[in-house]
Structure 1
Amino acid sequence: MNATHSNGRAMTAQEHDARAHAQGGYGIYWRTWVWLLVITLLEVGAASTGLPRPLMIGVLVVLSLMKAALIMAYFMHLRFERLQFVYAVLSPLIFVLILLAGVAPDALGRLG
């Protein structure tokens, strides 16, 4: 959703944040912080249970990606950026995941 001024000009992320602050304060940041806390507690719970190692690693990776998405969207203000910029930020993450997928079988084979 792109916010615009009354004159039709698109708002910058800073202008949109200023308007959101004037309308609702810092509530979105507190809600985001609570969600990050909940996800962190889920991570601690997953690590302390007796889940099989591959399942635990998968759960931890998914939860970490969820936290990263929340941080990028709300604290780095990427939810207001153009899609091309978001792709530029996310492409290294995708590249790292591909590299990890290629190295993981060898690494897990040496551990087992």
Structure 2
Amino acid sequence: MFAYLAPVLLLVGSNLFMTLAWYGHLKFTDKPLVLVIFVSWGIALLEYCLAVPANRIGHTVYSAAELKTIQEVITLSVFAAFSVVYLKEALTLNHVVGFGLIFAGAVVIFRGPF
């Protein structure tokens, strides 16, 4: 059970850090770009410290394609919440439909083969 759940939890944590590293600086446009790059790089290091073990552990029970699919679904979920809560941006129907189609792709990955 650990090998199935741990990668998912680690990837959630990893994606929280990565989303913060990639998009958190958008609220600090008055800061020098070089500073933002180095701060983001430091945050991204924490992301890697979670993502690498997630994939190492996860590959014992998931294929690489399944791990990537899990990561993408988590990324979209974390990003959607982050953009609404932190960036105060609205999710439109286009976003919801697009994310839904990607989720449908994930279902195909895990329910195959056809």
Question: Would you call these one fold, judging by a TM-score over 0.5?
Answer: no
TM-score by length of 1: 0.40
From the CA coordinates, give the structure whose radius of gyration is larger.
1
TM-score by length of 2: 0.39
